[in-house]
Chain A
Amino acid sequence: QVQLQQWGAGLLKPSETLSLTCAVYGGSFSGYYWSWIRQPPGRGLEWIGEINPSGSTNFNPSLKSRVTMSVDTSRNQFSLKLSSVTAADTAVYYCARGRIRGYCSGGSCSILDYWGQGTQVTVSS
């Protein structure tokens, strides 16, 4: 059974860099895209970006200037960095697997089928 386990710092000060890592267990790492999604308190879901094992990335245009993603295929892990955080970045952050479907207008054309447990990140001075 595929499992995604994520971790990272939960409390940040404004202007710091958020850093999260997600490890994949029980399934193949190659052949999929790997995404980050966040959910501010009491609000809906916002996709942040995705990466494949070759390091190819796609990002949400609204966050692109602050997002960096990386992948470690030797450990079946991928990571997110979000720079210059503010209180607006306070959210639960999820990692997820993208099951590729075919050809779409843009992005990986994948379905987010397995999700991590979520990490609460709070930005406060």
Chain B
Amino acid sequence: DTGVSQDPRHKITKRGQNVTFRCDPISEHNRLYWYRQTLGQGPEFLTYFQNEAQLEKSRLLSDRFSAERPKGSFSTLEIQRTEQGDSAMYLCASSAGLAGVDEQFFGPGTRLTVL
């Protein structure tokens, strides 16, 4: 068990380009979460999955944002037509999905810079 991993750790892109981030959760964890964290702020929830089902996506920031978890293991977060305001740290977390409220384990994040 190596924890939650995210790739890439840093991404620099030009405005208007599409970017995709990957998150590999802790093995056997069936819940996976995406957050955005801007400078000087706490993480902001975006969406989450239970296995491959996306159970909450109303907080994705715009229709330019989308997430998938096709086989219930890793997940991708895509941002289309990036804007400078998308520059932030994108965090992924996973949890075991046990009964009740179980702890979310966070990855180190992907830092996005949009030029």
Q: Are chains A and B native binding partners rather than an unrelated pairing?
A: no
